């Protein structure tokens, strides 16, 4: 019995500590994802040790202490994405329709054929901007039925799981499709004009995940996030970055993105909004994201129902309230953060100059 608990404790300690390694190899970085699941396993282990083992024995004390410390460490990463943490983005005090933008982000899964399910959700939730990931020519043909209501579009169909489409009720200006780090992975960059006339700089991203069937490490993904972060940090206008970033909200890379960009995460203090995997309730984490500058407050954020994809759609309503900027603050950066960011970009030979700046055209 003691040996079983010892093996379980050592295993969970190892899974907790491995992500601290500076390595970008996929199986190390993948351990950033299941922090909630590991926390639950650690909690169960601690309770079982309390109930079954003799806590007077030094070995048991050591195991129990290690499990407690690991649980506290895992909780440090995920606690901001619960209602126990202060909200980073303030709730909108007023919702002027002319200053409001509703964005639906949906990874459709290329092989999924339930386009009608997504179209029904668009009709039900009425986003102003719809962005789809993994959408190919088949999906484009179905999505084009939206053009009567969403006349402003940017289309980038691909059959390699990295297609991307944007359909908007609002005017889109200076749109550009770019391949920031990898030649086969596009991103979309544009200005979206609110009914009030205010311009919003938007970046739609879908970097490759660190996984053996995709990439053996996270270097390309990290570099794409970093150069976009460095680019948007330089603009004074309202900014939104959204998409399937193939990284969890609490990872060190996503935290670095937030520190460098200065963008806020409306999920902080509200919930995880786990969007992947839609088919496995016990293995879910937040892969689809929306970050924004402090010009916005939050009207609404929700995970929408499944429609056959392995991702749930994410819906966020933002309200342009520049007067709230002094009341909102994200993660703070230091020199070490900028050194890490520079190193990640340099490793892939890319820079913020590679990122389109639609507000400067």
Residue ranges covered by each domain of the chain: 2-81, 97-360
Residue 214: per-residue pLDDT: 64
Quote the pTM value. Answer: 0.96
Residue 213: per-residue pLDDT: 67
pLDDT tens across 249-274, in order? 999 999 999 999 999 999 999 999 99
CATH superfamily of 97-360: Endonuclease/exonuclease/phosphatase (3.60.10.10)
Task: Kindly state the greatest CA–CA separation across the chain.
Answer: 72
- Residue 100 β-bridge partners: 319
Residue 353: per-residue pLDDT: 97
Residue 212: per-residue pLDDT: 72
Residue 215: per-residue pLDDT: 66
Q: Which residues of the chain have pLDDT under 70?
A: 213-215
Measured distance CA(201)–CA(224) in Å, rounded: 17
**Residue of 248, 250, 257 lying closest to 76 (CA atoms):** 250
Measured distance CA(311)–CA(114) in Å, rounded: 13
Average per-residue pLDDT in the chain? Answer: 96
pLDDT tens across 290-319, in order? 999 999 999 999 999 999 999 999 999 999
């Amino acid at each position: 019995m003691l040996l079983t608990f010892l093996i379980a404790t050592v295993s969970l300690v190892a899974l907790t500590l491995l992500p601290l390694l500076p390595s970008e190899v996929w199986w190390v970085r993948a351990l950033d994802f299941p922090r909630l699941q590991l926390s639950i396993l650690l909690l169960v282990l601690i309770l079982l040790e309390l109930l079954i083992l003799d806590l007077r024995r030094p070995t048991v004390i050591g195991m129990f202490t290690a499990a407690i410390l690991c649980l506290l460490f895992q909780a440090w990463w995920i606690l901001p994405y619960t209602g126990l943490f202060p909200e980073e983005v303030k709730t909108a005090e007023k919702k002027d329709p002319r200053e409001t933008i509703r964005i639906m982000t949906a990874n459709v899964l290329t092989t999924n054929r339930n386009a009608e399910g997504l179209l029904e959700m668009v009709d039900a939730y009425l986003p102003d901007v719809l962005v789809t990931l993994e959408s190919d020519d088949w999906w484009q043909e179905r999505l084009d039925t939206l053009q009567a209501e969403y006349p402003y579009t940017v289309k980038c169909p691909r059959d390699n799981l990295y297609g991307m489409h944007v359909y908007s009720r609002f005017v889109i200006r200076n749109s550009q499709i770019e391949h920031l780090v990898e030649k086969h992975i596009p991103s979309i960059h544009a200005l979206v004009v609110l009914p009030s006339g205010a311009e919003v700089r938007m970046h739609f991203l879908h970097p490759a995940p660190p996984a053996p069937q995709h990439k053996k490490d996270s270097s390309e993904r990290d570099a794409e996030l970093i150069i976009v972060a460095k680019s948007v940090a330089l603009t004074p206008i309202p900014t939104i970055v959204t998409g399937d970033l193939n990284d969890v909200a609490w990872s060190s890379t996503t935290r670095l993105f937030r520190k460098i960009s200065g963008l806020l995460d409306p999920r902080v203090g509200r919930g995880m909004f786990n969007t992947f995997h839609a088919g496995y309730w016990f293995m879910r984490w937040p892969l689809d994201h929306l970050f924004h500058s402090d010009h916005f407050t939050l009207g609404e954020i929700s995970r929408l129902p499944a429609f056959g994809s392995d991702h749930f759609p994410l819906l966020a309503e933002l309200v342009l309230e520049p007067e709230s900027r002094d009341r909102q603050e994200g993660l703070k950066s230091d020199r070490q953060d900028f050194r890490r960011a520079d190193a990640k970009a340099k490793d892939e030979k890319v820079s913020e100059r590679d990122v389109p700046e639609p507000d400067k055209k």
